[in-house]
Structure 1
Amino acid sequence: MNLFRVLSVLLAVTVVLVSGCKSVPDAAEGGEESNRFASLLEGDYRIGVDDRIQITVWRNPELSTTVPVRPDGKISVPLIGDVQAGGNTPTQVAAIIKEKLSAYIREPNVAVILTELRSHEFLSRVRVTGAVRTPRSMPYRPGMTVLDAVLEAGGVNDFASPNRTKLYRKGKTKTDIFDVDLADILTKGKLESNFDLKPGDVVTVPERIF
């Protein structure tokens, strides 16, 4: 790994640690978010609209910038203008910028780093619906369980039938449905059906049948 690559990775980790609530999560947190973080450093993530990226041109700070991806999927880069970012990986965008800058700079070194993941914000949420006190759409957090989500929604209301709770998880071809014995979890501490959640999961607590 050359010096420029090492510095680029260190810069990416620094940005992650100081960014706000919508920034890329720390790899040490584990789970799905850790996998996503790892993919960023490996260059596999496909940039989307509203993502925010940092462009660093080695020894040319006047060309370095941090920009959002516009609705048309493009970004504006000093000196060379618009560059297609949406649908490409950071590595691919860096290569495009490098090629365009080569007309003005001899052998430019370019790094593209994602600082905020905004295009996938809603795909990364967990939702709790039905007979809870406050139906919620909440950000997914590594380690979150069904019980965590229900408690964050204020718990079940007086009309709930908690042992008929369902967890819905959308797969590639179908939606998987899991039975959750929420009453047993809440009152008896039986955690067998207290499933770990994944981004996009929906927990539904039905009302009692009178």
Structure 2
Amino acid sequence: MNKSKALRVGILGMLALLISACGGMTPSSQSPVLTEVSADPYRIGVGDMVSIHVWRNPELSQSIVVRPDGFISMPLMGDVMADGKQPETLAEEIRGALAELIRSPEVTVMVTNPVSKEFRNRVRITGQVMSPQSIAFRPGMTVLDIVLQAGGVTDFAAEDRAVLHRETVEGYSSFGVDVEAILDDGDMTFNYPLQPGDVISVPRKELFRGEL
């Protein structure tokens, strides 16, 4: 074997090792499994409209939006952290604070406009697409749906190396998606169903792969 050929073999071997060492990438032969929807109680988030009712104290009752810093403002109490709490937990904290000021307060908290839930229930596509998107999830959505929503891929997209990022019970996992096969060949093998929170990234072609 001459030196130039040996050098090429060595470089290809190194590249193969680098590619195989990329962490978090699930083999394309393994399809992403849809995670079952959690039945965890709802937690208040930024932007949510909450209705606070203090029985027999209408001056303390109000409807208010959770601020970007996660707080709401309550009469007699000032700022109260609401972000990340269940409505029942927030109601109990408000009741405990008001108990020092009024007799036997009864407090209920309801989320009347769960804006933060809508934000969490979105799917996103980034990278080399005509129009990166963050759109509300709809049951039945697939990879092809969001790629078309984004206007397709750019001329610089390495669409055969797109990646689907999904939160699973073990944490975030990544799955290879051959968008090129879907768009050019009509091969629906990689047209995976989506779920809320999914992110698809389409990388740029790379010079060392001879793609440009």
TM-score (ref. length: structure 1): 0.62
**Partners of 1:32 and 1:142 within 8 A in 2:** no
**Which residue among 93, 97, 112 is the counterpart of 2:109?**
112
User: Alignment partner for residue 58 of structure 2, among 56, 61, 65?
Assistant: 61
CA contact (8 A) 2:123 2:195 kept: yes
- Aligned mate of 2:132, from 131, 135, 160: 135
> Following TM superposition, by how much is the alpha carbon of 1:166 offset from its aligned partner in structure 2, in angstroms?
1.9
How far apart in 1 are the matches of 2:49 and 2:128? 38
How many angstroms apart in 2 are the aligned matches of 1:129 and 1:96?
41
- Say whether 1:39 aligns with 2:41: yes
Distance 1:175 1:93, change over 3 A: closer
**What does residue 95 of structure 1 align with?**
92
User: Which structure is richer in relative contact order (CA contacts within 8 A, separation 6 or more)?
Assistant: 2
The equivalent residue for 2:141 is 144
Is residue 35–residue 168 contact of structure 2 (8 Å, CA) maintained in 1?
no
Indicate the residue corresponding to 2:175 in structure 1: 178
Give the SS at the match of 2:182.
Answer: helix
Q: Which residue of 1 aligns with 2:25?
A: none
Q: 1:124 and 1:182 mapped to 2: Cα distance?
A: 23
Aligned pair count reads 174
Q: 1:132 Cα deviation (Å)? A: 1.9
Partner deviation per Cα, 1:118-147 (whole Å, 9 max, x = no partner): 567765543323332222233444443211
Q: Partners in 1 of 2:198 and 2:191 — Cα distance?
A: 13
Q: Does 1:165 align with 2:162?
A: yes
Q: Which protein is bigger by CA-based radius of gyration?
A: 2
* Aligned-partner Cα distance in 2 for 1:85–1:164: 41
| Aligned residue identity for 2:41 | S
CA drift at 1:81: 3.7
> Kindly, what percent of the aligned residue pairs are identical?
48
> Structure 2: how far apart are the matches of 1:166 and 1:196?
14
Q: Let me know the Cα RMSD of the aligned residues.
A: 3.6
Q: Which runs of 5+ in 1 are unaligned?
A: 1-30
**Cα–Cα, structure 1 residues 182 and 113, in superposed 2: closer, same or farther, change >3 Å?**
same
Structure 2 runs not aligned, ≥5 long: 1-33, 206-210
CA deviation after TM superposition for structure 1 residue 94, in Å: 0.4
Please show how residues 63-78 of structure 1 align to structure 2 within 5 Å: 63-70=60-67, 73-78=70-75
Aligned equivalent of 2:81: 84
Deviation at 1:87, TM superposition (A): 4.2
How far the C-alpha of 1:79 sits from its partner, in A, is: 4.2
Matched, 1:126 2:120: no
Secondary structure of the residue that 1:61 maps to in structure 2? coil
Structure 1 residues 58 and 34, CA gap change in structure 2 (3 angstroms): farther
- Helix, strand or coil: the match of 1:96? helix
